[in-house]
Structure 1
Amino acid sequence: MTSERLLLLDSASLYFRAFFGVPDQRSSSDEPPTNALRGFLDMIATLTTAHQPTHLVACWDNDWRPQFRVDLIPSYKAHRVGEPVGSAKNSVNVAAGAVPDQAHPASADTAIEELPDDLSPQVPLIADALAALGIARLGADGFEADDVIGTLVERHRGSMAIDVVTGDRDLLQLIDDANSVRVLYTGKGGVREPDQGTQAYLQEKYAVPNGDAYLDMSILRGDTSDGLPGVKGIGDKTAAQLIAAYGSLEGLRKAVADGDPAIKGARRANLEAAAAYLDVAPRVVRVARDAPVADTDISLPTKVADTRLLSLLASTYGITNPINRVLGALQIP
Structure 2
Amino acid sequence: MTERLMLLDTASLYYRAFYGVPDRRASPGAPPNNAVRGLLDMVATLLTTYRPTHLAACWDNDWRPAFRVEAIPTYKAHRAVEGRPDVEDTPEALVPQVPVIVEVLAALGLPRLGADGYEADDVIGTLVHRHRGRGPVDVVTGDRDLFQLVDDEASVRVLYTARGGVRDPDVVTQSFLRNKYDIDTGPAYADMATLRGDTSDGLPGVAGIGEKTAAALINRYGGLAALRAALAEGDPHLKGARRARLEEASDYLDVAPKVVAVATDCPIEETDLSLPEAVAHPDLLLDLVDSHDLRSPVNRVLAALQVAID
Fold shared by both chains (TM-score > 0.5): yes
The structure 1 residue matched to 2:192, chosen from 217, 222, 227, is 217
RMSD over aligned Cα atoms: 1.2
Alignment-derived partner of residue 123 in structure 2: 148
Alignment-derived partner of residue 133 in structure 1: 108
SS of 1:141's equivalent in the other structure is coil
SS of 1:23's equivalent in the other structure is coil
Structure 1 position 15 matched with structure 2 position 17: no
Deviation of the 1:225 alpha carbon: 0.6
The structure 2 residue matched to 1:245, chosen from 216, 220, 225, is 220
Segments of structure 1 that go 5 or more residues without pairing to the other structure are 85-108
User: How do residues 85-164 of structure 1 correspond to structure 2 at under 5 angstroms?
Assistant: 111-164=86-139
Task: Report the Cα distance in structure 1 between the residues aligned to 2:305 and 2:65, rounded to whole angstroms.
Answer: 34
Q: 1:9 touches 1:164 (CA, 8 Å); kept in 2?
A: yes
Q: Which stretch has the larger CA shift, 10-19 or 258-267? A: 258-267
TM-score after normalising by structure 1: 0.91
TM-score after normalising by structure 2: 0.97
For residues 280-327 of structure 1, what are the alpha-carbon distances to aligned partners after superposition, in whole Å with 9 as ceiling and x for unaligned?
Answer: 111110000000012111100110000111000000011011000000
Alignment-derived partner of residue 47 in structure 1: 46
Structure 1 position 309 matched with structure 2 position 284: yes
Structure 1 position 166 matched with structure 2 position 165: no
Alignment-derived partner of residue 290 in structure 1: 265
Deviation of the 1:263 alpha carbon: 1.0
For residues 106-158 of structure 1, what are the alpha-carbon distances to aligned partners after superposition, in whole Å with 9 as ceiling and x for unaligned?
Answer: xxx88321100011110110010000000000000000000000000000011
SS of 2:217's equivalent in the other structure is helix
User: Which runs of 4 or more aligned residues in structure 1 lie more than 3 Å from their structure 2 counterparts after TM superposition?
Assistant: none
Structure 1 position 4 matched with structure 2 position 26: no
Task: Report the Cα distance in structure 2 between the residues aligned to 1:252 and 1:164, rounded to whole angstroms.
Answer: 30
Alignment-derived partner of residue 173 in structure 2: 198
Deviation of the 1:30 alpha carbon: 2.3
Task: Report the Cα distance in structure 1 between the residues aligned to 2:44 and 2:267, rounded to whole angstroms.
Answer: 28
Alignment-derived partner of residue 254 in structure 2: 279
1:17 is matched by which residue type in structure 2? R
Q: 1:138 touches 1:294 (CA, 8 Å); kept in 2?
A: no
Deviation of the 1:47 alpha carbon: 0.2
Q: 1:38 touches 1:322 (CA, 8 Å); kept in 2?
A: yes
Q: 1:83 touches 1:111 (CA, 8 Å); kept in 2?
A: no
SS of 1:57's equivalent in the other structure is strand
Deviation of the 1:204 alpha carbon: 0.4
Percent of counterpart pairs with the same letter?
63
Alignment-derived partner of residue 56 in structure 1: 55
Alignment-derived partner of residue 94 in structure 1: none
Q: 1:217 touches 1:236 (CA, 8 Å); kept in 2?
A: yes
Deviation of the 1:83 alpha carbon: 6.4
Q: Which stretch has the larger CA shift, 165-174 or 258-267? A: 258-267
